Amino acid sequence: MSSNNSIEHVLFDLDETIYPTETGIMDLIGHRINEYMSLRLGIDAAEVGAIREQYYRRYGTTGRGLCLHHGVDAEEYFEFVHDLPLEEMLKPDPGLDSMLEGLGAEKSIFTNATAGHARRVLEVLGVIGHFGHIIGIAELGYVPKPDVRAYQRALEILGASGEECLLVDDRARNLGPGRSLGMTTVLVGARQPEDSADFVVDEVTQVGEVILAIRSGRGGHSSPPRRIAGRQPEG
């Protein structure tokens, strides 16, 4: 983090970061990927899971592996897997809208999904107007997180240094490369190890509290990570 505790850009992951896991959207995307592999590529359904796991571990996403090893057209693939009834699964989020409004930094989406999918999600949530950049997989040259080249490309698009950026993601493996480039990192949820996270929050609406902590000199690269307390249950 820069010496004057300045965060100029906040890069948000999209799926299961900007909205809760409980929506089931990623489960449905996973089902669509399985369908694509079995119906479009003719891969035995019994082998799909193992192939997906192999590609995820090696390349960061199933799609990257399919493009490299099966000659898949990336645009056609993403059009298929992102054909989702988002309007039935999401609704406007006033709390997210309020947090983004008060953040006091440039806000961008940084996702392994397509920019088109991101725009649909943000439109349904009612927050698309807050984001100056939507950096999707095509903008990254189809090189996904956690490949460090994706983060370097995002910084190039933003015209920013890593020290000026706060990186928010629900997957710990996607934070490490950003941290290596100087970004301050926030893990949404704590389902994974937290070594690469400077902060841990229960939900994305707490990112505003992270910014306050950093600007007051109570943040920066730390081990163990600083946890921002979640909202207490009512009653």
- Compute the distance between CA of residue 176 and CA of residue 143 in angstroms, rounded to an integer: 16
Evaluate if residue 192 carries a pLDDT over 80.
no
pTM here is 0.90
Could you tell me the two tokens for 219? Answer: 């943040």
Domains (range + CATH), the chain: 9-19+91-227 (3.40.50.1000), 25-81 (1.10.150.450)
Q: Is the pLDDT of residue 74 over 90?
A: yes
101-129: pLDDT as tens digits: 999 999 999 999 999 999 999 999 999 99
Per this entry, what is the length of the chain? 235
CA distance to 29, 62, 72, 110, per residue, from 58 (Å): 20, 9, 17, 20
**Given a cut of 90, is residue 188 above it in pLDDT?**
yes
